[in-house]
């Protein structure tokens, strides 16, 4: 299949400056710097991403000595390309003699950066985007590729605006108030649809949705089979939206600032201030932290259950896959008289987790996983298993995860989840409670796993709930939340 699973067809060929199409060549790792520092930084990062695709590095943008304005522009180009990789690749591929992915990474980077600016960013003259890509690729690849990139990007630009005799003039693009799933429009994060000057998207509805929203077609078909075509379309469109910064407070001790608006889910709020303002707020308030509203639901259900049955008030609470400690903080607030033990297998998260545990105080500590399973077997009143998953409920935030989707990956994660479940259940004391949590919306990782561990470890199901992602492009940010799943089970006394 070609990049983005576009429908098979003959494409017009655009050749490079030497009359022949460029061919893949060895990757160059040294960054290229041109007079346009912001665009160069974005293309250097995109070249590395293209070499690794679909294993994208979401933190892969390096900004050496850029001022605030250039850094913001570089981020805008890089992030737009990552979020709409399949969309841009499909449009570019219309004018290339081979599938997009068969071009060398530097060529892909130049094409992605130029196309992202012309199609997805406002107030960028086409000539500026094209010229920057051409100048960068002259140094990053070989000279003949520059003519190829120039020709392809001019064709891509003509899809959204008529060529202008004035190169400084901003393109006159056309929009519709909302996306209507036509073959001549692309949904935008603000809720509008960019109108193309030709109906170039695939005729097949699944393929068109996949290309328009930048998802693998296999993922769209999977959602359609599992949840129906209407829900699959809403999920794909949800991932076009830019997620807001959401804060959670387990027990607010002071009024929230004006930059925080209450979320539709209790306990959460949407922050609308600057990055510096957010950092200052988090330093000043230890009762607030960044956490998606749906991510908080698992521990909130446990907290409510505590009010009905006092099964954990003074017991040992274990957070097995604690990550950077977000749910560890939430557990500590929900169960203020409990001892908290946290662990995570990833060394790169250990520092952040240790800082969270220090903030909780003497009743909390960090253990390695081997030490946890060896020393706490049969002792925990509550075990939280927020397990690794496909991230299918958080693809608007984890854009790299959508491109990695395949059945083999799901099968590997299901096996890992079962190992964690079995080891986590062994930590429970008689009458103890296990909370299984994912940010997936896939039954294979959720309901089927709960049924498996309930039978295998002789656990009784108390509560189970799946939350689908909500919030579409252009909707109020207070309605936005990720997808999540949690189940609460108890060990028979």
Q: What is the pLDDT of residues 472-489, one digit of tens each?
A: 999 999 999 999 999 999
Report DSSP letters for 125-150, one per residue: -HHHHHHHHHHHHHHHS-HHHHHHHH
* Residue owning tokens 């190992």: 419
d(CA 112, CA 118): 10
Classify residue 179: in a domain, yes or no. yes
386 beta partners: 437
Rounded average pLDDT over 275-291: 91
Same domain, 434 and 478: yes
Q: Do both 260 and 282 map to the same domain?
A: yes
Please tell me the predicted confidence (pLDDT) of residue 238.
98
Q: What are the tens digits of pLDDT across the range 104-162?
A: 999 999 999 999 999 999 889 999 999 999 999 999 988 889 999 999 999 999 999 87
* Average pLDDT rounded to a whole number, residues 407-420: 95
**What mean pLDDT comes out for the span 194-200?**
96
Task: Name the DSSP class of 331.
Answer: H
284 and 427 in a single domain? The answer is no
Q: Is residue 46 within 8 Å of residue 112, measured between CB atoms?
A: yes
Q: pLDDT tens-digit profile of 452-463?
A: 999 999 999 999
Of 108, 127, 158, which marks where a domain is finished?
158
Which pLDDT belongs to residue 27? 46
pLDDT at 266 over 70: yes
Residue 21 lies in a domain: no
Average pLDDT over residues 339-359: 89
Residues 441 and 306 in one domain: yes
Q: Which domain holds residue 204?
A: 174-238
Same domain as 453, residue 351: yes
Pair 189, 241: CB distance under 8 Å: yes
231 part of a folded domain: yes
Mean pLDDT of 303-326: 79
Boundary of a domain, candidates 193, 211, 238 = 238
pLDDT value, residue 339: 94
Q: 248: which strand partners? A: 268, 289
Domain identity same for 248 and 178: no
Check which CATH number belongs to the domain holding 472 and give it.
Answer: 3.40.50.150
157-193 pLDDT, tens digit per residue, is: 999 987 776 767 778 899 999 999 999 999 999 999 9
- Residues 328, 456, single domain; the answer is yes
What pLDDT does residue 169 have? 74
The lowest-confidence range among 34-38, 238-242, 292-296 is: 34-38
pLDDT at 402: 93
- The whole-number average pLDDT for the span 224-242 is 97
Domain count, the chain: 4
Kindly indicate the confidence band of residue 310, based on its pLDDT and cuts at 50, 70 and 90. Answer: low
Going by pLDDT thresholds of 50, 70 and 90, the confidence category of residue 466 is very high
Is residue 17 a part of any domain in this protein?
no
Helices (H) and strands (E) in the chain, counts: 17, 14
**Contact predicate 249/209, CB 8 Å:** no
Identify any residues that bridge with 15 across adjacent strands, giving them in sequence order: none
Residue 479 inside a domain? The answer is yes
Question: In the structure encoding, which two tokens stand for residue 190, read together?
Answer: 């603000």
- Residue 19's CB is within 10 A of a number of other CB atoms, namely 8
For residue 47, the domain's CATH number is: 1.10.940.10
Please report whether residue 61 resides in a domain.
yes
Instruction: Indicate whether 399 and 478 sit together in one domain.
Output: yes
Convert 236-248 to b/e letters by CB count within 10 Å (16 or more is b): bbbbbbebbbbbb
In a domain, 164, yes or no: no
pLDDT value, residue 346? 82
pLDDT at 40 over 50: yes
| Rounded distance between C-alpha atoms, residue 252 and residue 278, angstroms | 17
Q: Is the Cβ–Cβ distance between 405 and 380 less than 8 Å?
A: no
Confidence class of residue 470 from pLDDT cuts 50, 70 and 90?
very high
6 in any annotated domain: no
If asked whether residues 192 and 207 sit together in one domain, one would say yes
- How far is 107 from 145, CA to CA, in rounded Å? 7
Q: Is residue 141 located within the same domain as residue 204?
A: no
Mean pLDDT of the chain: 89
Hey, what are 253's tokens? 């001790």
Indicate the pTM of the whole model: 0.89
Please tell me whether residues 66 and 81 are part of one structural domain. Answer: yes
Looking at the predicted structure, is the pLDDT value of residue 370 above 80? Answer: yes
Same domain, 69 and 108: yes
Q: Please list, residue by residue across 309-321, b when 16 or more beta carbons sit within 10 angstroms of its beta carbon and e when fewer do.
A: eeebeebbbbbbb
């Amino acid at each position: 299949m070609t990049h983005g699973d576009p429908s098979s067809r003959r494409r017009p060929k655009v050749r490079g400056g030497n009359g022949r199409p460029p061919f893949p060549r060895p990757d160059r790792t040294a960054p290229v710097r041109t007079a346009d520092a912001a665009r160069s930084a974005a293309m250097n990062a995109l070249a590395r991403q293209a070499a690794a695709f679909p294993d994208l590095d979401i933190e892969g943008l390096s900004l050496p000595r850029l001022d605030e304005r250039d850094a913001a522009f570089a981020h805008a180009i890089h992030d737009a390309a990552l979020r709409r990789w399949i969309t841009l690749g499909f449009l570019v591929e219309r004018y290339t003699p081979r599938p997009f992915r068969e071009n060398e990474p530097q060529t892909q980077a130049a094409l992605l950066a130029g196309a992202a600016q012309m199609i997805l960013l406002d107030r960028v003259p086409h000539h500026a985007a094209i010229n920057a890509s051409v100048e960068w690729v002259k140094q990053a690849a070989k000279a003949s590729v520059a003519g190829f990139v120039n020709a392809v990007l001019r064709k891509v630009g003509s899809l959204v605006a008529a060529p202008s005799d004035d190169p400084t003039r901003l393109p006159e693009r056309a929009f519709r108030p909302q996306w209507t799933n036509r073959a001549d429009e692309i949904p935008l994060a603000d809720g509008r649809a960019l109108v193309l000057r030709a109906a170039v998207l695939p005729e097949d509805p699944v393929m068109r949705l996949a290309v328009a929203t930048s998802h693998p077609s296999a993922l769209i078909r999977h959602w359609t089979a599992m949840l129906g075509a209407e829900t699959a379309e809403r999920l794909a469109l949800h991932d076009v939206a830019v997620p807001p910064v959401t804060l959670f407070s387990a027990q607010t001790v002071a009024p929230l600032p004006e930059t925080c608006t209450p979320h539709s889910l209790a306990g959460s709020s949407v922050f609308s201030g600057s990055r510096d303002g957010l950092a200052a707020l988090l330093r000043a308030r230890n009762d607030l932290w960044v956490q998606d509203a749906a991510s908080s639901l698992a521990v909130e259900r446990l907290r409510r259950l505590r009010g009905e049955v006092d099964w954990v008030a003074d017991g040992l609470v274990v957070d097995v896959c604690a990550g950077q400690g977000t749910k560890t903080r939430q557990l500590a607030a929900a169960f203020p008289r409990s001892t908290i033990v946290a662990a995570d297998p990833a060394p790169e998260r250990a520092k952040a987790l240790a800082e969270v545990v220090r903030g909780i105080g003497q009743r909390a500590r960090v253990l390695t996983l081997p030490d946890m399973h060896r020393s706490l077997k049969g002792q925990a009143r509550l075990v939280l298993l927020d397990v690794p998953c496909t991230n299918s409920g958080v693809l608007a935030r984890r854009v790299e995860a959508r491109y990695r989707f395949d059945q083999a990956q799901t099968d590997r994660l299901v096996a890992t989840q079962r190992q964690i479940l079995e080891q986590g259940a062994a930590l429970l004391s008689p009458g103890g409670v296990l909370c299984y949590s994912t940010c997936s919306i896939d039954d294979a990782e959720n309901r089927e796993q709960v049924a498996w561990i309930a039978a295998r470890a002789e656990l009784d199901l108390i509560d189970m709930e799946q939350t689908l992602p909500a919030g579409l492009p252009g909707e109020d940010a207070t309605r936005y939340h990720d997808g999540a799943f949690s189940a609460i089970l108890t060990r028979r006394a």
